[in-house]
Structure 1
Amino acid sequence: MSIKPFGVEIINGPQHWAIIQQQQGKGTIQLTGISSVMEGDVPVSAQVYARLVMEDGTGDVVSWTRCLMGDRGAWKLLLTDIPAGGLYRLETCLRLEERQPMELATRGDMIHHIGVGDIWVIAGQSNAAGYGRGAVSDPPMLGVHLLRHNGKWDLATHPFNESTQTRQSLNGEPVNPGHSPYLAFAKQVREETGIPIGLLQTALGGSPLSRWNPDEEGDLYRNMMNVIESAGGSVRGMLWYQGCSDCDEGNAASYLDRFCRMAEYWRSELCNKKLPILTVQLNRNAGYAEGEEGNHGWGKVRDAQRMAAMKLDQVYVVPSLDSPLSDIIHNSPAGNLLLGGRLAKMAVAGVYGKAVPPRAPNIIKAEVGRSLREGKLTVLLEFGDVAGELFAVGPGERIFSIHDEAGVEGVAQWRILDKNKVELALPRTLQGAACVHGYYEANPSAFPILDTGTYMPMLAFYGVAIQQEDKGE
């Protein structure tokens, strides 16, 4: 025996587990639906009500509110100024007459686990999609939710980029993905800001920057914007991890300009000139075997990532060269936890303004030294953003190389001076204009120079000009 539906039905509104992007600490929920009385009831003046309550049982956020009634039981409601927070539960009911107690009103649909907070978009290639393999403790957290490929919000759990019942076929992975850095990121931001965090996964393994740049192919850019629109059209920021597929000579040389242009498109379409973009400088390719020429492409892309954070406001970069791998190129779950934590600290400080952003050591100057060391010419490197002091985990490792008209040559002897300077003892006299590289190879030293204040390695750099005294005539 079928029972005729009755009460309040929500036709349009947030999904269960949805995160609603806040605007200046407030959120908005728009609802529409239909209502009908139970067979045998004789309503005097049927009226739909809705309210928003704390899901932990601590009380109302928005008390019972009359909805605007239309023909044949249709109704609608716009709830504004909902405070950032949650999780919330939205309840509806149908009051058959004005004096009827709300507790005895006819049933209505409910929406569970709603948060008003910030949405972050994940974009890039495989290390953004999440390919970490192996066991690690990284459990879900209420208030950290994910819009899955099937178009439904859910509690965020690994793997993020799996494509069950996908509506996002364009960024579906060819194999099952694994562990991602962004659950750890979102949980830490949630804990330190107190607001729910939503994640939109739009990354695709192996994708070059051209697929994210409207000036080039741009298909993944358009896919990303469609996903953002499906989540309400507004986000707090971007999580970008990409570059391995652009390390060929042609694409590497133009990476900085193309990234900046891409960021400009993102910000324009999302109507936010200062949209935060958190990036990761490339880790290593442990299986690289394509020769010295290819090394320069990796160096150029890493340097472009370093320079983008210096050139563009609200673009941040964290290093990854100390992150362990699951295979020759993908960060392991332990490495993802490390990177997720770094990104979270950067977001909490730089985006949410709760501290000074913990930046990695970044080269600011290279100049020929004023004195010789054991009869050799020296070059002095000076670094900014050093919170403690520079510390060498593996002294004697080949980290730096000089590049001049005679070619590229590694520097075998170097030492740390003061808290933020490194002195290189050059293997030969510089020939003409010269520059210095640091960690530029596809698979550089496994023992980077660290900052004792943050324990982050220095950012890799490429082609930093060495200032030389004019010799005159």
Structure 2
Amino acid sequence: MAATTDLGPIQTNATSNPPPNKQIFILSGQSNMAGRGGVLKKLHRWDGVVPPEAQPHPSIFRLSAKLHWEVAHEPLHADIDSKKTCGVGPGMAFANGVRERVGTVALVPCAVGGTAIREWARGEKLYEDMVKRARHSVKDGGEIRAILWFQGESDTSTEHDADAYQGNMEAFVANVRRDLALPSLPIIQVALASGIKYIEKVREAQLGMRVENVVCVDAKGLELKEDNLHLTTQAQVILGQMLADAYLTHFAPPLKSKPST
């Protein structure tokens, strides 16, 4: 599939190796991270509309399900959350928002729709797959800069799950940092925009976490699709830009000042 950018046409389905100094970001969580923007529910297909902020760029790559690097394009999670129809998520807007500052951006999609936090516990398939993909991403160089995490809607249906969310999330952060040998790995999580009965309990846990190098951006108020669960395409773009701002503000290396003349 070819796409056109301001740099001309680029091939978005071709295997291509990013440079060894790539900056790696793990995208994880459930459906709103995997992307449902533009998915037509009744037709079970994506409308194919890619906003300007989410367009491919030669300096943005993704790790495929088969562990091959390729130029990134929407839908980022099509071969990861493969049992569902994927559309626009926040990942490409995030990448376009940070690439001028950080250089080559390498995205590692790992999100799967409908998954609860307990399914991301150490030893569970989703967690182990994420760690495997993250480890593979640095085999040829590069640094894992952050995990972008958007999950929790599946934990809002019972009081028990909502009450357990903060402890489960803190365990997730500790485990992934240990297993990747990155004790200070930044985590940027998204506070829920939607949920069921106990959404406010989960949001309170997300917004109230006091763990070093964990920051939260709040998706509440962003436009939802008619299902009142998934973000619209434009809302996903806004969220991606919010995530980019959070990374650049809290974690990106400082800009080098130009020498005075």
Instruction: Verify same fold: TM over 0.5.
Output: yes
Using CA pairs below 8 Å that are at least 6 residues apart, which structure has the higher relative contact order?
2
Report % sequence identity. 26
In 2, the alpha carbon distance for the partners of 1:235 and 1:185 equals 15
Q: Quote the offset at 1:342 in angstroms.
A: 0.8
- What secondary structure, in the 3-state scheme, does the structure 2 residue paired with 1:123 have? strand
The structure whose residues are more often helix, as a share, is 2
Q: Quote the offset at 1:333 in angstroms.
A: 1.1
Is the contact between residue 34 and residue 81 of structure 2 (CA under 8 Å) also seen in structure 1?
no
Distance 1:353 1:228, change over 3 A: closer
> Residues 153-302 of structure 1: matches in 2 within 5 Å?
153-163=69-79, 171-193=80-102, 195-214=103-122, 218-232=124-138, 235-247=144-156, 248-285=158-195, 294=197, 297-302=198-203
In 2, the alpha carbon distance for the partners of 1:17 and 1:318 equals 32
Q: Deviations over 1:276-304 (max 9, x none)?
A: 0011100024xx6xxxxx2xx21110000
- What secondary structure, in the 3-state scheme, does the structure 2 residue paired with 1:116 have? coil
> Residues 11-90 of structure 1: matches in 2 within 5 Å?
17-19=16-18
In 1, the alpha carbon distance for the partners of 2:89 and 2:199 equals 23
Q: Quote the offset at 1:115 in angstroms.
A: 5.3
Q: Deviations over 1:123-152 (max 9, x none)?
A: 100001111115333311111101112322
Match of 2:244 among 322, 344, 349: 344
Q: Deviations over 1:334-385 (max 9, x none)?
A: 0011111111011011111449xxxxxxxxxxxxxxxxxxxxxxxxxxxxxx
In 2, the alpha carbon distance for the partners of 1:304 and 1:276 equals 18
Q: Quote the offset at 1:241 in angstroms.
A: 0.2
Which 4+ residue blocks in structure 1 deviate beyond 6 angstroms?
none
Alignment partner, residue 259 of structure 2: none
Match of 1:312 among 208, 211, 224: 211
In 1, the alpha carbon distance for the partners of 2:169 and 2:17 equals 31
Alignment partner, residue 65 of structure 2: 149
Q: Deviations over 1:102-141 (max 9, x none)?
A: xxxxxxxxxxxx3522100111000011111153333111
List runs of 5+ in structure 1 lacking aligned partners.
1-14, 20-113, 164-170, 289-293, 356-473
Q: Quote the offset at 1:225 in angstroms.
A: 1.1
In 2, the alpha carbon distance for the partners of 1:343 and 1:172 equals 21
Q: Which has the larger radius of gyration?
A: 1
- What secondary structure, in the 3-state scheme, does the structure 2 residue paired with 1:239 have? strand
Is the contact between residue 17 and residue 115 of structure 1 (CA under 8 Å) also seen in structure 2?
no
Letter in 1 for 2:175: Y
Alignment partner, residue 8 of structure 2: none
Is the contact between residue 76 and residue 91 of structure 2 (CA under 8 Å) also seen in structure 1?
no
Is the contact between residue 173 and residue 205 of structure 1 (CA under 8 Å) also seen in structure 2?
no
In 2, the alpha carbon distance for the partners of 1:351 and 1:188 equals 14
Is the contact between residue 162 and residue 172 of structure 1 (CA under 8 Å) also seen in structure 2?
yes
In 1, the alpha carbon distance for the partners of 2:165 and 2:20 equals 37
Q: Quote the offset at 1:16 in angstroms.
A: 5.2
In 2, the alpha carbon distance for the partners of 1:154 and 1:349 equals 28
Q: Quote the offset at 1:272 in angstroms.
A: 1.4
Is the contact between residue 15 and residue 71 of structure 2 (CA under 8 Å) also seen in structure 1?
no
The structure whose residues are more often strand, as a share, is 1
List runs of 5+ in structure 2 lacking aligned partners.
1-13, 39-46, 256-261
Pairs aligned (count): 226
Q: Quote the offset at 1:18 in angstroms.
A: 2.8
Alignment partner, residue 120 of structure 1: 25
Q: Deviations over 1:12-35 (max 9, x none)?
A: xxx95334xxxxxxxxxxxxxxxx
Q: Deviations over 1:290-329 (max 9, x none)?
A: xxxx2xx211100000012xx1011111111121123321
CA RMSD after TM alignment: 1.9
> Residues 402-417 of structure 1: matches in 2 within 5 Å?
none
Alignment partner, residue 454 of structure 1: none
Q: Quote the offset at 1:258 in angstroms.
A: 1.0
TM norm structure 1: 0.46
- What secondary structure, in the 3-state scheme, does the structure 1 residue paired with 2:144 have? coil
